[in-house]
Amino acid sequence: MRFGASFVFSMCFGIGILGAQNKQILYDFYEIPQSLMINPGVKTTEKWHAGIPALSGFYLQAGSSGVTVNDLFANDGIDFTTKIRERVIDGMRKRDDFSFNNKIEVFNGGFRNPNRPDDYYSFGMYEELDVIVYWPRDLAILAFEGNGGDNIGRSFDLGDLSLRGEMVSVFHFGINRKLNNTLTVGARAKIYSGIFQFQSIGNRGTFTTTLGQDNIYRTSLDVDMQLQTAGVDEITDVLEEDSSSITNLLRRRILFGGNLGLGLDAGFTYKLTPQTTITGSILDMGFIYNSKDILNYKVSGSATNEGLTVFLPEDINDLDNDLWQDLVDEIEEAIPYEENESGYISFRPVKLYGSIRYDYGQAESTYNRDCGCAVTGEEGKNNDMYRNSVGGQLFMMKRPRGIQAALTGFYQKRLGRTLALKTTYTVDKYSLSNIGLGLNLQAGPVNFYIMGDNLLAYRNVADSHYASLQFGFNIISWNDN
């Protein structure tokens, strides 16, 4: 089977994440304008840039920290239920997650302030879909095996249910300023327009069946769980009633008609020595206040029961025929379920990057103008541009169950102004063999970039734990033309 079908299935299967939106190849790849999006303080060299609308930045990522498509669907003659039991139910941990991230730039542009050439302004709009579902291990075991048999005495952790997803439209404006020859800083303000959001986080509780104190079994439920949704209910209704009007609904929400929020990115680039540079950035420090089209579900309380009980002589006069319904009512009263429309705040997943880079090799001398940017003023030579760079990067991202981190080593090669290549080797708790490759091609003013990682897995994509792809087209100018 070719790449396509497996990759699409991987997307649908919701494959977990390796590196969690880690754009390690794009990071500090400053020949590409989109590197500004993950470090507003990255070194900028262009006079202006304009992304090709809808094609300037496309990013798609999926991966599995647990099983692969091949683990389950290989035509290997093993019973499918056995594979599910051994590789999913027994094999996956509660920290394993399924996730999907997709980002499409609608437009993106930037220009250097003619009166203050150390400032570079960038702006744009993009759509982002981000979903993460942690593997609800105990709930899966409960569904697969039940509470009986060997599970008598086992306490199922209901807190294993943790998921979060959202689709947002983001409008942004950023300022990148070269403060001096060693330090460049930047910041980006964002307005979020939420298209939909859902989250079920911070759940807790247990479900336990033990040998009873009076009767044969005692069942105990202690639960505090909720699912918050914003924008989902109306979309569902529209799809059920008149799917043709979904476009109008989405258009309205994309253009500030959704739940609104604010965010901030910040970053810097600092030259320790002429050839050694450190960078850092923090992204999506922001929130969305969800107040429209809210529907929340909540269940909270605790109850213990050992079935219907009759104690004689105490209950001899209790002639109620609805003992079972009374028991059900009692449990429902102890563990009430409610739906409400209360607004809530959802936080964007904060991401943090850091890097150190060492440049070496013959300095480029192809810039023949001083564009007033990061290129030095020395006519005819750009001392900042070296043919080679090596370094390391750190990525961290806040997720519902804590910080996900990744460490990357990279090597970058520049072949004139036309071609730049960057290869990365990334390790995290899920993989020790993630090799990525990025290419930036500059054909006159036309810029094209494409990046992918976990390349070793392309020998058998279905057995891959992870795949990501990003590419885009820009027009870049370094002079007044």
> Site residues (CB under 8 A) for other proteins?
1-3, 5-6, 9, 69-70, 72-75, 79-81, 84, 142-149, 152, 209, 212, 214-219, 305-313, 316, 319-325, 437, 439, 450-452, 455, 458-463, 469
| Residue among 47 and 414 whose Cβ is closer to other proteins | 414
Minimum distance from CB of 245 to other proteins (Å)? 33
Considering the complex, state which of residue 179 and residue 308 has its C-beta at the smaller distance from other proteins. Answer: 308
Q: State the Cα–Cα distance between residues 134 and 399, nearest whole angstrom.
A: 10
- For the chain, how many residues are written? 481
Pair of tokens at residue 57: 């930045």
Q: How far apart are CA 428 and CA 406, in angstroms?
A: 5
Smallest distance from other proteins to CB 157, Å: 17
Tell the smallest beta-carbon distance from residue 127 to other proteins (Å): 23
Shortest CB 153 distance to other proteins, Å:
11
Which amino acid, 85?
A: R
Residue placing its CB nearer to other proteins in the complex, 386 or 449: 449
**Which of residues 230 and 420 has its CB atom nearest to other proteins in the complex?**
420
CB of 457 to other proteins, least distance (A): 8
Residue type, 345: I
Residue 56 CB, shortest distance to other proteins, in Å, is: 18
| Beta strand 276-290 pairing with 344-347 | antiparallel
218 and 307 Cβ atoms separated by less than 8 Å: no
Min separation Cβ 307 and other proteins, Å: 3
Which of 218, 387 has the CB closer to other proteins?
218
- Residue 469 CB contacts under 8 Å (≥ 6 apart), including other chains: 58, 59, 60, 61, 450, 451, 452
Indicate the residue among 355 and 440 with the shorter CB distance to other proteins: 440
- Neighbour tally for 463: CB within 10 Å: 13
Q: What angle do CA 204, 210, 214 make, to 5 degrees?
A: 125
Residue 160 has phi, psi (to 5 degrees) of -65, -20
Question: Residue 226: helix, strand or coil by DSSP?
Answer: strand
Q: What angle do CA 455, 460, 466 make, to 5 degrees?
A: 50
Of 85 and 292, which has the nearer Cβ to other proteins?
Answer: 85
Among residues 378 and 463, whose Cβ is nearest to other proteins?
A: 463
Q: Please identify, using beta-carbon distances, which residue of 42 and 467 lies nearer to other proteins.
A: 467
Under DSSP, is residue 248 helix (H, G, I), strand (E, B) or coil?
A: helix
Q: How far is the CB of 320 from other proteins (least distance, A)?
A: 7
**Whose Cβ is closer to other proteins: residue 149's or residue 402's?**
149
- Which pair of structure tokens corresponds to residue 111? 């220009």
Taking the complex as a whole, the smallest distance from the CB of residue 295 to other proteins amounts, in Å, to 25
**Nearer to other proteins among residue 5 and residue 246 (C-beta):** 5
Alpha-carbon distance of 67 to 83, in angstroms, equals 10
Cβ(279)–Cβ(261) below 8 Å: no
Residue with tokens 């253009």: 255
Rounded to the nearest 5 degrees, what angle is found at the Cα of 460, between the Cα atoms of 436 and 433?
35
Q: How far is the CB of 303 from other proteins (least distance, A)?
A: 13
Q: How many other C-beta atoms lie within 10 A of the C-beta of residue 14? A: 15
d(CA 386, CA 47): 20
Q: How far is the CB of 291 from other proteins (least distance, A)?
A: 37
Contact by Cβ (8 Å): 123, 109:
yes
- Distance between first and last Cα of the chain: 48
> What letter would DSSP give residue 5?
H
Task: Please tell me the distance from the alpha carbon of residue 159 to that of residue 219, in angstroms, as a whole number.
Answer: 18
